[in-house]
Structure 1
Amino acid sequence: MHTRVTGIVIEDDRILLLNRDTDGPRTWSLPGGKVEAGESLAEALVREMREETGVQVQVGRLLYLCDHIPARVVHIIFEARRVGGQVGAAELGKDTNPIRGVRFVELTELPQLGFSDRFVQLCQAGFPDAGSYMGAKANIGL
């Protein structure tokens, strides 16, 4: 399995999302990516957030640990706080699913962008059970 970190940045009931060029059912996603050899989880998250969103973050509390067995991925999801930078993908079009855009989205808009009601509820409730292993990624609505 490989390890992937994800950052959730929420400001004024708006969440930072990426719009990716993908064939999947949902083009909007949370920023994050694979942990590279020699990186700590925090270093990987800071790098991924900067590369994908242009935002400098401070890594906050561990929210959830999930897995996606078919893809052989462990997802580690952190709360993050913006401490600098400008919102706008720093490396548009660089990876295999090029980023088309980055923006803060109202939490109430998430269902229209393909996010589950479960994920919206977790965001609005302040991530109850933070720090927990949640099993399949689908258990947190992702």
Structure 2
Amino acid sequence: MKRVDVVYVMLRDDSGEKLLMVKNYGDKGSYYTLPGGAVEAGETLQEAAIREAKEETGLDVSIGGLFSVSEDFFDERGHHAVFFIFEGQVLGGEITIAFPEEIEEVKWMPIQEAVHYLYIPEKAEEQVRANRSVPYILRGQVIQKR
């Protein structure tokens, strides 16, 4: 199995009550995720998260701590995927869809609706609302919530 690292960025609106979600086209129909995607060769998790958020939403972002790490096996693809969800902050830019063949919609979604698409335990909604994360350490530098 090939190991694939995937990063996502959890971005909140100014009220803290909505998360930015991306509606992707899929083989079995459209589905929502946080902005994110696969880490490319030679990229750090931080670089990949910032790049993917920009590509999928048009927004410039910074990342803070890690919200969660999870993994799954996709036998049909031969992948062992490790998913990293980072807390993030919008720095600027405008919401745009740069890849309309991949992304159907980008929208702010209420947290209670968005958590159904995050593939986290139901009890983790409290953690999403509390905006809790642990530090992400990159080359000895601690990156935490901003």
TM over 0.5, shorter chain = yes
State the percentage of identical aligned residues: 28
Unmatched 5+ stretches in structure 2: 136-146
Task: Find the residue that maps to 1:33 and give its secondary structure.
Answer: strand
Calculate the TM-score normalised by the size of structure 1: 0.76
When residues 77 and 115 of structure 1 are mapped into structure 2, their CA distance, relative to the original with a 3 A threshold, is closer
Q: Does 1:126 align with 2:131?
A: yes
Counterpart CA distance in 2 for 1:74 and 1:2 is 6
Calculate the TM-score normalised by the size of structure 2: 0.74
Q: Is the 1:110–1:120 Cα contact (8 Å) retained in structure 2?
A: no
Match for 2:97 among 89, 95, 118?
89
Counterpart CA distance in 2 for 1:50 and 1:3 is 18
Counterpart CA distance in 1 for 2:65 and 2:73 is 24
Q: Which has the higher helix share?
A: 1
Structure index of larger Rg = 2
Q: Does 1:30 align with 2:38?
A: no
Alpha-carbon RMSD? 2.3
In the TM superposition, what is the alpha-carbon distance from 1:108 to its structure 2 partner?
3.1
When residues 76 and 120 of structure 1 are mapped into structure 2, their CA distance, relative to the original with a 3 A threshold, is same
Letter in 2 for 1:131: V
Task: Find the residue that maps to 2:46 and give its secondary structure.
Answer: helix
